[in-house]
Structure 1
């Protein structure tokens, strides 16, 4: 005979079931009206409207970002944050399932707040985080102090695996420019200094470097400017390079190597060069095992079992890494389609509005809300999570 759920968790289950249809409508509305990074105005309005109607105190334009927001109920400490992503991919819509991330964070905040009761102290904080797909909303919010008083940051992400934690790498992009001397390739070729040739040589050097980079490290580049005409030796050439590494420290080392390579090429070709960061830096994700295991335990009640990630597999990068460097955080993956597919595809966009996604949404809302209540009500859990976070941050 199954062990009965403790009363608070039964309340969460009942409250989740009561709100399930409304939350699915939110997920579908976002799915049908995708908006890209920093332009998620209708999504932000929909989500903040739901939170305001529930009595949350909403603050918009957080961190100077028009589509970022916080919504607060109660007063910390302690404070538990539920994170909402809602940006879509250009041309692919919600092919990363952020409509589900937003609905899950919204639902967990509403359910946890409804269940915790007037006698409970603490604060439930919903954080609207725009532009995960390249803009780094969470990174900018973290730098602005949004998470400074937060005891735990909770979110989930739909995927093709049921994994208790996300193997997410650090990443950033750099602009590299070479400057030479324009000339006519036949009229006065000896006077020319070919900036494009220097950029091409940098690609060759980085290709050789890539063969000896450690697991999780990666450099990929494109030419963004290569000249203006075929009968002019290019005096300016630029490229954009994406760097990834298993840890933030390794990313810093890789960026330094990029600079050394560019300097060497410039010396060899007689050009001058510039290297500058061209994106927000995403730190690697530091999983808080104490909270991840608590979430996984709650999710198992819905028949979804989370396992450890496949060793050696990295699934890209996310700005949740920047949050996890500051506070205990979780970012589990829960499958909404089979592992023979991938996100960032039309097939995944379809899956983000499927019946399986609907089931996952309700299960995740319940598990996130239970975990949030645990954080608010259990000082021992908060202490263990904080200790785990300090250990992970020191690595």
Structure 2
């Protein structure tokens, strides 16, 4: 086929619309029963239950994650599209990032596609991705090959802007350990080598250097060990730093520079230092504008007009970045609150359970379903999306 007809788009929107009450029930259930990262057992059961009832084949515990799942429908010779469902919540704030809406929209799109598309037109894959807020469940899923053979990975995110794509940075964490020598601060002041003073000097160095970091680069640190008593010079001090940069390559360079600053501080203070990069971190998000532009066209039918992000603005990091390095991916923002607000707040949590949240969720489900149908039935569009991914990868974007 060379793409869906207007009739198919209409059927997809109808299928999402007739499920609106059930999708909102799912969203409200998740909203009222928030579960933290890696603990989303009830959410995973709820979502896989709906998918299994519709005829999807379910695989649970994917990539060694108890609350990750794959739900597959169709297995024909055509392309495969993945709809990404997030469902973890934040401590104390619940669904203050709106993941209940992400899960319900992805669920609705998957069910609508399964109802409308012939199995020979390709495969619909609903991917349950836990722990976006802490740990990044998509990272081990990607490393386990879940997205091998997938032609597009689609999701939306509720927000405070109507943007066609998400300016999300690469991020990682670094632990810095300074080693000095304990002594009594007055009884033997020249013998002591203050590890905490070295760590504080690193904070001061970072504050100065941060002023000239390029756009998208940022670092923030906390003291995780600064000694135990005031009458002993600390022989050990430890800090944890979060580092971000506009691209994964820029992040690697920032980590290397941070290590040099730490070594310089150690030399100047007579301490020794260990700098340890913790885990994988997140890659930067590589938007596929071939597909995000198509999503924007589809959601415009619901009266939502998406624009480009404001230049030089970055909104944090997400594990969708690791998926976007492998397959054409989208991550548009659709506002459920005004731009003067922010997510990760009680106000945003309330909005995620509001009438506006329902409206946005349903519009996103319809647009995701239609965009997925484009990928599955339009070989030329899919080829352009892959070409765009390769082009951005070659340019390091």
Smaller-chain TM-score range? over 0.9
Q: Distance in 2 between matches of 1:48 and 1:222?
A: 39
Alignment deviations for residues 305-353 of structure 1 (CA, whole Å, 9 cap, x no partner): 1111111111111111111011000000001111111111100000001
Q: Conserved in 2, the CA contact under 8 Å of 1:328 and 1:389? A: yes
Q: Distance in 2 between matches of 1:301 and 1:257?
A: 48
Alignment map for 1:1-395 (pairs within 5 Å): 6-75=6-75, 77-118=78-119, 120-395=120-395
TM-score, normalisation: structure 2:
0.96
Q: Distance in 2 between matches of 1:46 and 1:198?
A: 51
Q: Which moved more, 1:75-84 or 1:206-215?
A: 75-84
Q: CA deviation at 1:60?
A: 1.1
Q: Distance in 2 between matches of 1:243 and 1:279?
A: 13
Gaps of 5+ in 2: none
Alignment deviations for residues 76-126 of structure 1 (CA, whole Å, 9 cap, x no partner): 5411000001111111000000000011111111111111024x3311001
Q: Distance in 2 between matches of 1:267 and 1:288?
A: 46
Q: Distance in 1 between matches of 2:349 and 2:373?
A: 31
Q: Distance in 2 between matches of 1:117 and 1:146?
A: 23
Q: Distance in 2 between matches of 1:204 and 1:363?
A: 48
Q: Conserved in 2, the CA contact under 8 Å of 1:199 and 1:237? A: yes
Q: Distance in 2 between matches of 1:293 and 1:40?
A: 32
Q: Distance in 1 between matches of 2:163 and 2:318?
A: 16
Q: CA deviation at 1:278?
A: 2.5
SS at match of 1:193: coil
User: Number of matched residues?
Assistant: 390
Q: Distance in 2 between matches of 1:86 and 1:149?
A: 24
Q: CA deviation at 1:194?
A: 1.0
Q: Distance in 2 between matches of 1:294 and 1:88?
A: 29
Q: CA deviation at 1:240?
A: 0.4
SS at match of 1:281: strand
Q: Conserved in 2, the CA contact under 8 Å of 1:247 and 1:283? A: yes
SS at match of 1:284: coil
Q: Conserved in 2, the CA contact under 8 Å of 1:136 and 1:280? A: no
Q: Which moved more, 1:69-78 or 1:129-138?
A: 69-78
Q: CA deviation at 1:279?
A: 4.4
Q: Distance in 2 between matches of 1:11 and 1:163?
A: 26
Alignment deviations for residues 327-381 of structure 1 (CA, whole Å, 9 cap, x no partner): 0000000011111111111000000011111111111111100111111111111
Q: Conserved in 2, the CA contact under 8 Å of 1:174 and 1:279? A: no
TM-score, normalisation: structure 1:
0.97
How well do the aligned residues superpose, as a CA RMSD in angstroms? 1.1
Q: Which moved more, 1:238-247 or 1:132-141?
A: 132-141
Q: Conserved in 2, the CA contact under 8 Å of 1:174 and 1:277? A: yes
